[in-house]
Structure 1
């Protein structure tokens, strides 16, 4: 008998003029000890199904049709108080962002003990004992000490372990995990997925994993449900759905997954979707890159040369130098980037990747070493005019496009701002023409210039960030995790766009990511970082086929298995 049965579920969100159907006639089930993966793009209805099951639909959302059963008992029509008792006790929830689901003002111990005592008839001492056992069970070292700490004192992976402990503290029969590994590095993701698999096997818990990551689906699930615009388009065993998908949307979705085993020229596009952001017309923006606007001094040898780069941050200040404490973020790092190539930096969070990007762009000043850009030593620049002249040649695309865009400015003004600041156009009409051409070229269209950032999806906002970065006609582009928060199909579009732009505009790129499959597809050479040190620098294919450093081999071994996807990928590619 199934632990969870969802029958003919339809969820609606009434509006002023119409009713939005977020989930339409969905049927699925989960058995004890098994993991069901619910996969699809943003807006597919995945999280809405999970919220409907646990009774957390936001107003005015409602279940208009269908039934939800837990161990044969219907739960969707239960009164509010009974639903509240059900949450935590019978159904546990693991949220995407652990920091927002933990109370920053309470220790981990007090949060666990409170939840345990709410659902189980245990004394305070027994609840504390169980809390320590749970922290130990999810793999946090020194559980007796760490449980006394606050959430901000844990890393992202450790916080996710705490959230898993909270979800399991009342011994639920069903656990719903909503994007549990989206923001985690490959090594931390592997640990969390292994933990989830072992908990299901050992405790006979049924689990529903909601994700857009096909690697997670391939790694841990027994069955998979594929959703598209609120509908369940394919459902079955994981080996069948991923190995021989029947629905064209599933086929397109799988084909867009970056290949870790072989390099391809372009990422296949999810052509089943009517993409509103495709270019309306072909624009040759290379004309804006000619003449004085991009009359940079030619370089013989590498464009970027980094030698013995050091960066440390003061963690405890004092008037007495001997009492100061420092964190060494970057340690004696050296590498070159040739003009026209894409150099990748890969490693865990805290390895120093983004710190190096900020050092190159001048956002941080190094404590040691040198950065040579062309013939200019960047660390010695002090004159504002010289600094701005160098910064115009290099631009950065950030991980979160929404936080890097001014929410109060129209898109056309956001893109025009660097053009006006660096005086790269002779008139306002020329500025408008450049902005319009950039918007067309990145696939948004001229009309997008009149809108504000909040009116766009995540993928469209990243296109705006790319257009803004290109506005100064740079020769060097730094991409810091530019697609880590995007769905696989949107990721494919953005990565293809970056490849095209590099070829058309002769760009040199530093590409930073913890996604090894993306790194393989985008980069010519790759540097592997760990704890601020550069472990290995190698050509792309050589690094994946014959890694030299033990840590590189460890990272490659931890990549989610894509064997189930290989046949569908090959056929589609």
Structure 2
């Protein structure tokens, strides 16, 4: 008998004028000790299926049709009180962001003990002992000590381990994992996936893994279901679906996954979605922007030279210098970035990647070393006019476009702001023309300027961020994890856009990411960071084919297996 059996599920969200059908006719099964992956893009209905199973649909959403069975017992019609008892005891849930599912005001111990005692007839001491055993089982060192700490005292990967421990508290029969590794580095992701697979096998737990990451699907699942616009378009064994996909959407989705084994000129896009659309109109913006103001002085040699860069943060203050304590985020880092190239920086969270970017752009003042941009030593600039002139030449695209855009401003005003600040246009009409052309150039169209950021999808918001970054007519663009939170198809569109802009405008780029497959496709040379130190710098192909440093070799070995996907890519690309 199947642990989970979903039959012809339909989920509706009634609105004022119409009813939105989020899931239509979905049927899935999961056996004990097996992992089913549900894959698709944002809006496909993946998380809605998981929420429907566990009874967490947001009102007015509701199950309008179909049936959900757990070990042969129908659960979709259970009253609220019984469904609440089922959650945690029979069904565990692992959420995407562990911070949102952990109480910041309670220790990990109190949260685990509370959950255990809610579902199991154990005393406080027995529950405490079980909590320590769970923390140890999910691979957190010194469990008896760490369990006394608060969620903010754990790293992202360790917090996700705590959430897995919470999901396993009452020995559930089914675990639903909703994007469990999206925000994690490749090494932490590998550890979490290995842990999930191990727990599934040892405890004979059925697992439903919801993700848009094909690497995760290829690594740990036994079966995979592909969803598109609320419908199930393909379902079968992972080897069959990924190795020989039958549905055109599955083929197109797999073809858009970045290739880790070879370098391609452009990322394949998801043609199944885009075939109905009209090609983007190419706008020549040289009249208003490119030809007029890109009059920067020619540089002989590297455009950016980093020499012995250091950055430390004070963690314990004192009036006595000898008593102060510091965290060294960047330690004696040196590298060059040549004009027109894309220099990649890869490493785990906390390795110092983003700190270097913030030091270069002047958001942090370095503790030591030098930064030469062209012929100008950035660390010695004191005059505000000179600082602004330098900052106009370099712009940054951040990981989360929503947090970097002013939610109260229209898009046209967001993009116009740096143009007006740096006085790059002679009139308001010229500002409007530049803004319209930039919006056209990034594929949104001038009409998008009238809207607010919340009216756009994640990929569209990242296009707005790119347009804003280009508004100052920079020569150097820093991209800090610009696609890590995006679906594979949207990621392909954004990365192709960045490649096109670099070629058209002669941009120099520094590309920061923990996704090695993306780094390989985007970069000419790559620097590998670890614990604030630069381990290795090499040409892209050389680094992937013959890595010299032990840590680089370790990172490459931890990349998710893409053998099945690569075969599909070759057939459909």
- TM tier relative to shorter chain: over 0.9
**Separation in 2 of the partners of 1:113 and 1:308?**
49
Residue pair 1:279, 1:443 contacting (<8 A) in 2 also: no
**Separation in 2 of the partners of 1:276 and 1:444?**
16
Residue pair 1:310, 1:366 contacting (<8 A) in 2 also: yes
**Separation in 2 of the partners of 1:276 and 1:96?**
32
SS in 2 for 1:272: helix
SS in 1 for 2:372: strand
Residue pair 1:277, 1:460 contacting (<8 A) in 2 also: no
CA deviation after TM superposition for structure 1 residue 98, in Å:
0.2
**Separation in 2 of the partners of 1:476 and 1:290?**
14
Is residue 2:518 matched to residue 1:525? Answer: no
Residue pair 1:187, 1:555 contacting (<8 A) in 2 also: yes
**Separation in 2 of the partners of 1:244 and 1:350?**
39
SS in 2 for 1:310: strand
**Separation in 1 of the partners of 2:28 and 2:370?**
58
Is residue 2:452 matched to residue 1:452? Answer: yes
Residue pair 1:278, 1:443 contacting (<8 A) in 2 also: no
Q: Flag structure 1 segments of 5+ consecutive residues without an equivalent.
A: none
CA deviation after TM superposition for structure 1 residue 52, in Å:
0.3
Q: Which residue of 2 aligns with 1:133?
A: 133
CA deviation after TM superposition for structure 1 residue 361, in Å:
0.2
Residue pair 2:288, 2:430 contacting (<8 A) in 1 also: no
Q: Which residue of 2 aligns with 1:208?
A: 208
**Separation in 2 of the partners of 1:281 and 1:517?**
29
Q: Which residue of 1 aligns with 2:462?
A: 462
**Separation in 2 of the partners of 1:373 and 1:279?**
38
Residue pair 2:290, 2:505 contacting (<8 A) in 1 also: no
CA deviation after TM superposition for structure 1 residue 286, in Å:
3.2
Question: Which digits, 9 at most, give the CA deviation of each residue in 1:477-534, with x for residues without a partner?
Answer: 0000000000000000000000000000000000000000000000000000000000
CA deviation after TM superposition for structure 1 residue 277, in Å:
8.4
**Separation in 1 of the partners of 2:450 and 2:132?**
55
Residue pair 1:286, 1:504 contacting (<8 A) in 2 also: no
Q: Which residue of 2 aligns with 1:144?
A: 144
Aligned-pair Cα RMSD in Å: 1.0
**Separation in 1 of the partners of 2:301 and 2:282?**
34
Residue pair 1:279, 1:442 contacting (<8 A) in 2 also: no
Residue pair 1:255, 1:572 contacting (<8 A) in 2 also: yes
Question: Which digits, 9 at most, give the CA deviation of each residue in 1:270-295, with x for residues without a partner?
Answer: 01114898764210123344455111
Q: Which residue of 2 aligns with 1:547?
A: 547
Q: Which residue of 2 aligns with 1:513?
A: 513
Residue pair 1:392, 1:473 contacting (<8 A) in 2 also: yes
Q: Which residue of 2 aligns with 1:306?
A: 306
**Separation in 2 of the partners of 1:269 and 1:158?**
35
Instruction: State how 1:230-245 maps to structure 2 within 5 Å.
Output: 230-245=230-245
**Separation in 2 of the partners of 1:139 and 1:283?**
54
SS in 2 for 1:100: helix
**Separation in 2 of the partners of 1:179 and 1:276?**
29
Q: Which residue of 2 aligns with 1:257?
A: 257
Residue pair 1:138, 1:165 contacting (<8 A) in 2 also: yes
Q: Which residue of 1 aligns with 2:562?
A: 562
Residue pair 1:92, 1:176 contacting (<8 A) in 2 also: yes
SS in 2 for 1:208: strand
**Separation in 2 of the partners of 1:222 and 1:290?**
52
Residue pair 2:289, 2:434 contacting (<8 A) in 1 also: no
Is residue 2:272 matched to residue 1:272? Answer: yes
TM-score, normalised by the number of residues in structure 1: 0.99
Instruction: State how 1:88-99 maps to structure 2 within 5 Å.
Output: 88-99=88-99
Evaluate the alpha carbon distance shift between residue 195 and residue 488 of structure 1 in structure 2; reply closer, same or farther with a 3 A threshold. Answer: same
Question: Which digits, 9 at most, give the CA deviation of each residue in 1:158-197, with x for residues without a partner?
Answer: 0000000000010000000000000000000000000000
Q: Which residue of 2 aligns with 1:7?
A: 7
TM-score, normalised by the number of residues in structure 2: 0.99
**Separation in 2 of the partners of 1:137 and 1:37?**
23
Question: Which digits, 9 at most, give the CA deviation of each residue in 1:128-175, with x for residues without a partner?
Answer: 000000000000000000000000000000000000000001000000
**Separation in 2 of the partners of 1:476 and 1:303?**
9
How many residues are paired up? 573
SS in 1 for 2:528: strand
Q: Flag structure 2 segments of 5+ consecutive residues without an equivalent.
A: none
Q: Which residue of 1 aligns with 2:86?
A: 86
Residue pair 1:254, 1:565 contacting (<8 A) in 2 also: yes
**Separation in 2 of the partners of 1:217 and 1:208?**
11
Question: Which digits, 9 at most, give the CA deviation of each residue in 1:51-73, with x for residues without a partner?
Answer: 00001011000101000000000
SS in 2 for 1:463: helix
